[in-house]
A and B are shown apart, each in its own frame.
Chain A
């Protein structure tokens, strides 16, 4: 069985936990309402006002004027994410993080030690609450696709198990938008065919779906049958490490995009360092309003796990390899690949000045791991996205 753990309103919950005076108040983490930032996370109180993540902060401020608006403390969330990861690690080494607040765990190898998957999932959810005072929603299912739907179904504090025998009864009533890759456009097309639920998809002709949606149609049909063969890939074996953000409203402001990219880069770099991976190729991914997706990549002179080097590279891609001004952007992401088969040996240099950037990263990581706190933060990260220049 596969477990999907998804933290509830992660950034906002961390802030709420760290500052008890925020309890029961709408907490919105993101760019400042004065600037042109985007909401990174909103707690459940704020969500009642209609605020949700990836919404421009200005909109959130209008919907929820009494909201507590906090800047993103990425280093802090990374630190807490590490603590969550440490809990996972007690139960299985096969962990595939999707982002700071979400991961797949394959526990098939540990069921003999810690009980069945359901019991392990309970233990993990309980440990996260007891030790970190944070809530997680958990899905347990035969594969990744089902586990992810399950964790989302009863959020927050959800705990949903899908047994092999219940797969169809679980899936069939769900709206098609629950299927991976079904956004507004695909949803409309499916509705046009009279397909509203996952059950409808399952009962349609595969060819019909293929005609309507191309290759993706076939995938949907497979998913609707609860079939998903993708394994949980532990980060150590990963061929690439990447992060991306989908904005709820399309973004035009390049400075907001740059600020998002920096956050993504910090997360990616930290994950690389944690797994002693060094990549040689940096990729930028950008998806526009009309769903056209562009990727731009460049290879570095040598592989790296350094935040500043990766940031320079991805920023250069963003600034020079895209046609500015950009059309409205829906998604932005960055990734690193090109790892060596084994962790790359690195020849030290006799004359290289002590590697200031790398030492900063190491110091930062170790402080983060020891104190789990944003002791150090890049100056750019302190600025509000709306104030970003060039």
Chain B
């Protein structure tokens, strides 16, 4: 916020009329339909209940009110000897979470979070009762991380539920859920979760410091904004943090020594720190036997490698036919086309990306029509009129499918951009372009160090055990150590029995 608004009244006064004026001035209660105040008189004194009806549970609020009204029935003379009115009200606020404060800012912050606060005439402290209930959905299976076996609950837009879903899986007394508010106007809740004693305290400190330095007015785009502050993305297309909607994935990483950052209103949590290879693993593999999990992983790796390297390699072999090895000399388009292969490739890549983008924004009933147009018109007819050759379509499709096999959408798009870079380099500079582009991309990826962790670990720098756990889905009984990349304070996951 460019200019901070200073208010003269910071604490509540003893006069309820003055307090009422403070809140009226700041909240302008008459202007908003969902902010309101309920006045009642109990034992001869005025009580005021401030609420935001769009965020609070009216059933609980009514229950609290009823209890307060019941105070009237008490014998005031004997009771007032024992307790002051203040204490009597406190005793009758029928809720487990009741706080007291004399700060105007606190009252307003809690009110706008959906809590109610009670002012009593003659008292300079307000009671804050947590009756909030946010509009939201039930935990559902996340769309992007489906598994054939395993739990079907996913994170929701409610940070309390998300913290609960995680804690249900980690009943460790060392699990810490630290909450802070960020956003000078939005006051968004952010939870930093870690397991004390496993996670590197320096890492937690760095993340907390980065979060506290955020001075933005609002976090309406939630965790993506936070990510941009924590890691310096720049123009780098690769995802530097991992998102997950699955509490089991999040809990696993928590116990490996990672830090979770949850942002309210977002159904994804951020896992920190992450490397390239975190993005090519999937929960499904850990729900299958080790052999099947390894098989699935290898199919994915081969698909990804093919998508990135084979498509530009094919283009190169077409452009420089003398490079084709004898064993596979049938490679290359058999039919002549008017359009140069390089241009066809770019048109194909552009087309696939366009269709994919259109498919995301298309509603389900129209999706069929879109698929029909894409497959039949673009694919078939383009070949028939001689605009694209069949082989180009094949390789572009291979590239597209290989990328779809990537479990992380962000990584998929980044790899697609890398492939287009390779295709451009190959088309412009032939074999030199292909080789040099690959080398430069590998070097650039190796020098990335988000949160001071090498991005290509455990491949570069090489860590034998870590690499083995990437290449093979290792059985859990054999995973004795936590990954070194997170500098775990307690590196041993399980001791030998």
Asked if A pairs with B, the answer is no
Chain B positions near chain A (C-beta within 8 angstroms): none
Chain A positions near chain B (C-beta within 8 angstroms): none
